[in-house]
Amino acid sequence: MTDNQETPDAEDATPSRSTTLPPPPPLRPPCERLSCHKTSVCSRSYFVVVMVFFHVYIINVIALLFYVHYNSGQDDANRSRDAPTGNHQQRPESGRPPSKPEFLRDVSLTRIEGIRVGHVQKVSLVPGKVHEMRTLSLKPLLFEIPEFLSEDECRVVMQLAQLKGLMESQLMVQDGQEELAKELNLSPDEIFNLLDINQDGELQLHEILTHSRVRDGIWLTPENLREIYAGLKADKDGNGLLSLEEFRLLSNDAFQRFLMQQGVKRSQLVRNSRHTWLYQGKGAHQVLQDIKERVTRLTRLPPSLVDLSEPLQVVRYDEGGHYHAHHDSGPVYPETACTHTRLAANTSTPFETSCRYITVLFYLNSVEGGGETAFPVADNRTYDEVSLIQNDVDLLDTRRNCNKSNLRVKPSKGTAVFWYNYLSDGRGWVGEQDEYALHGGCVVTHGTKWVANKWINIDPDYQRQARYQQLVSQQPEDEEDEEGLTLNPDIQSSDIHEDL
Amino acid sequence: MTDNQETPDAEDATPSRSTTLPPPPPLRPPCERLSCHKTSVCSRSYFVVVMVFFHVYIINVIALLFYVHYNSGQDDANRSRDAPTGNHQQRPESGRPPSKPEFLRDVSLTRIEGIRVGHVQKVSLVPGKVHEMRTLSLKPLLFEIPEFLSEDECRVVMQLAQLKGLMESQLMVQDGQEELAKELNLSPDEIFNLLDINQDGELQLHEILTHSRVRDGIWLTPENLREIYAGLKADKDGNGLLSLEEFRLLSNDAFQRFLMQQGVKRSQLVRNSRHTWLYQGKGAHQVLQDIKERVTRLTRLPPSLVDLSEPLQVVRYDEGGHYHAHHDSGPVYPETACTHTRLAANTSTPFETSCRYITVLFYLNSVEGGGETAFPVADNRTYDEVSLIQNDVDLLDTRRNCNKSNLRVKPSKGTAVFWYNYLSDGRGWVGEQDEYALHGGCVVTHGTKWVANKWINIDPDYQRQARYQQLVSQQPEDEEDEEGLTLNPDIQSSDIHEDL
């Protein structure tokens, strides 16, 4: 009730000020300004003016106080819902984040309600059109919006990508575990112990694959592993299992050399596609800017967060192309840095992930055969990493087992799907990774598949995100969009919705 | 921007009013009131007063407009999240519901975030203590709060229930379907067709049981049904299936008479327990009022909705007691009435349900053996009524198959669990029934089980709920708690949370 304090102030101050103020500067007498003719009448009309002002003023203040009181009541109720831990000190009543090192968390990220699988809600994304958004799963929270892009927009995006040129998407993944093992000084016995999930003293094929399916960018199947065992004579007793002794004799280098000798086919890669990146800021093709704005409306997130996210990724899968199931962004522990806020984080940590809170995936064409987006464990009752490979069936293998996925989305030109890679933290910010967001691109059996990805990067550590945004907004170059740089989404996102 | 319109109004109107107003009533000359001495100085000091007023007024209005603009921005952002359909006309900007037949929907029901199974959030329910609330499932949205009641409170509730006396809980369920069939004038052939789920021209046991497991309050098992077939010689060819011809010959009366002749054991009932109801309004035992208030804080719902809900139900299961899996409240179609708002609904419909939005279940003692609360399909990927009976295993049978339920909660003295029997409608009100909220009480194998149920009744039709609350608040008797009768929760629930 800041305004309540102003009211008595104004009332009390006026008479005292009028006595202590210096005499007014030599103005023309006020009578002349109001063109009245007699001094006695004049002083009465002055009195009337004062009284009218005074009453209008008081009525106005009372009306506004009522309005403000009612409004802040609603606001508090909404906030208490957003902060169910009763942890109110985290989200104080204050306004915008001050320019201090410690940022007050006054921003609440919208998370769209899924209600139930099959629920349809109408959304306004472009003037004069209502889109339907259907809930495809709750774990992950996943939606489908047909006709999100027009045919023309799809064509323009594909053409722009081709003009820019696409590069091989192959991720030459370094086996991080190997380096980590060196760093942590783990002995072969300790590594064996870590890999032996069921602790039976033998390494089953699925125990090795659960731990790392990817070796130097090559996707390992149970058959591959058997071939390698045979080639390296690793499994001396030929029982298909590795004992501790067999494991000790198996050198990492030999493993790698064997893989490389064999030669690698594209179909053996984790990801068999080409892609490019299209910037969406000022000066970009209008279609790209439109898409960015539409994504902001769709996700109801602060425009600044969308503006500061990765560019649009356009991907082409030729016949035979695929992308085995993966997470777009990894788990975040206190020591994990986000790629986008790393500069502002001011820490050095070996752990880093892209912190892609949301993935928006656009289908730019309808594929003749295959190419579905598969979510192997969507809405599973439980998530069990180990059970993802059972009886030589690897649910993450999108060349073989897409048909066993819980959910498959068929590509349809112009349709967008989007999902959250992270849960809520229960207080309106990004929480833990959602393991159920595991997904992949099934093999394209006929034709070509074109998709685009828009990722929205948000650091689960609010302080780092805020510091990063402040840093970017202070950059001297004036190219950045001023309006897009505040973290406070409340006015901006409401503006967007009021436009509709 | 209603206030924006007032500003020019005030400015424009003042001079014209000052000229058109009747001469002011004979007051003492204003000079005397301000105790100034010279007329010329007087007109100057008047001018200063006018100017000071005018400036303070303008500054104040500008400040308030800024404040209101910023506030309503936040508000709109919050609202647009609550109303993701873009269906803004349903929740206009106006204030409290007017006393007209059509109520404006300005209330948004809080729905607690589950985040993920196992998520723990801290809640403040009583001064000086923090409770932990753990998410047990997302479908239904189900939480557990240990130590919700103290040992003393549990004891008092059990004693009060015993003082009042408990009655048999047996629901002598009339087979509604039979009456409905008569009403709808269905022929035996049509009924057969309805029952024959897989449309193979034969009625399997599970097809009959899926349709109605309960006959005159008796829970039918596949074995029961076989006995009845044998006793009535219904299954002439003895293949365990009923053909249409066999079905035509099977008279409803014979079925009923056979059941009654057999005699009914308590263990054959749907529900084998005793219960009573304890009122929680003014004048009730302080413990009962405390529990009601704590439930309000827990659920973050408007106190009026909790106040106007059913009394506390206290249930005792003796050894051998059980309650087969059921829904606490049924599906709601446009023509379905809620029991609690029926008087205000002004309609006559054969469909009625209790509209229990939330069930809060308190364990008043720790049971020696058995007595778990089972949720057979909690967090299942899909809900399929037919697959609830497979191979003579009926998941709804809590005497036999509790061990096959997805989730079982073990009774522990003082612990509360609560869940939502309905989904959200996506606009802050009650939506469809949550089929996954199916639950039952497993058979008590050792000792006695005491529980209490607090149901919060809300009509999914906002208009009917509002009309009902208005009706109740207009009752002449002054016993009702004034404060509890407004539907507007915003100020009240925020008050509660601010107290913490």
Whether A432 and chain B come into contact, CB under 8 Å, resolves to yes
The pLDDT value given to residue A346: 66
Instruction: Report the C-alpha gap between B132 and A85 in whole angstroms.
Output: 9
Instruction: Report the C-alpha gap between B305 and A241 in whole angstroms.
Output: 63
**Minimal Cβ distance to B113: which of A42, A46, A426:** A426
Whether A379 and chain B come into contact, CB under 8 Å, resolves to yes
φ, ψ of residue B340 in degrees (nearest 5):
-75, -25
Average pLDDT on A333-348 reads 82
Which class for B479: exposed (0-12), middle (13-18), buried (19 or more C-beta within 10 A)?
A: exposed
DSSP labels, A345-385: H----S-EE--EEEEEEEE-S--SEE--EEETTTT-SS--S
Q: Do A86 and B497 touch (CB under 8 A)?
A: yes
ipTM entry: 0.70
Which residues on neighbouring strands pair with residue A419, listed in sequence order?
A142, A359
For residues A295 and A250, the answer to whether their CB atoms sit within 8 Å is no
The pLDDT value given to residue A376: 97
How big is the A-B interface in CB pairs under 8 Å?
255
Tokens, residue A216: 């130097």
Average pLDDT on B289-315 reads 97
Whether B90 and chain A come into contact, CB under 8 Å, resolves to no
pLDDT-derived band of residue B301, with 50, 70 and 90 as boundaries?
A: very high
Q: Do B44 and A56 touch (CB under 8 A)?
A: no
Nearest CA in chain B to A133: B85
pLDDT tens readout for residues B190-216? 888 888 888 888 888 888 888 778 877
Top mean pLDDT of A74-78, A190-194, A246-250, A443-447 is at A443-447
Q: Do B43 and A29 touch (CB under 8 A)?
A: yes
Q: Please, which residues have CB within 8 angstroms of residue B279's CB and are 6 or more apart in sequence?
A: B288, B311, B312
For residues A355 and A456, the answer to whether their CB atoms sit within 8 Å is no
The pLDDT value given to residue B6: 37
Which class for A498: exposed (0-12), middle (13-18), buried (19 or more C-beta within 10 A)?
A: exposed
Q: Do B39 and A39 touch (CB under 8 A)?
A: yes
Helix (H) or strand (E) holding A452: strand A449-457
Whether B33 and chain A come into contact, CB under 8 Å, resolves to no
Which residues on neighbouring strands pair with residue B275, listed in sequence order?
B167, B315
Q: Do B80 and A497 touch (CB under 8 A)?
A: yes
Whether B431 and chain A come into contact, CB under 8 Å, resolves to yes
pLDDT-derived band of residue B14, with 50, 70 and 90 as boundaries?
A: very low
Instruction: Report the C-alpha gap between B47 and A21 in whole angstroms.
Output: 12
Set of chain B residues whose Cβ sits within 8 Å of the Cβ of A490: 70, 73-74, 77
Average pLDDT on A255-282 reads 84
Q: Minimum mean pLDDT among A266-280, A293-307, A340-354: which range?
A: A340-354
- Which chain A residues in 194-233 lie under 8 Å from chain B, judged by CB atoms? none
pLDDT tens readout for residues B403-434? 999 999 999 999 999 999 999 999 999 999 99
Question: Hey, is B166 helix, strand or coil?
Answer: coil
Q: Minimum mean pLDDT among A186-190, A335-339, A489-493: which range?
A: A489-493
Average pLDDT on B99-109 reads 74
Of chain B, the percentage scoring pLDDT greater than 90 comes to 46
Whether A4 and chain B come into contact, CB under 8 Å, resolves to no
pLDDT tens readout for residues A63-91? 766 665 554 434 444 433 333 333 333 33
Q: How far is B121 from chain A (nearest CA, A)?
A: 6
Set of chain A residues whose Cβ sits within 8 Å of the Cβ of B122: 85-87
pLDDT higher than 90, residue B183: no
Of chain B, the percentage scoring pLDDT greater than 70 comes to 74
For residues B131 and B147, the answer to whether their CB atoms sit within 8 Å is yes
Q: Do A57 and B60 touch (CB under 8 A)?
A: yes
- Residue B440 has a CB neighbour count (10 Å cut-off) of 25
Q: How far is CA A469 from CA A97, A301, A395, A474, in A?
A: 11, 15, 39, 9
pLDDT tens readout for residues A406-436? 999 999 999 999 999 999 999 999 999 999 9
φ, ψ of residue B130 in degrees (nearest 5):
-115, 125
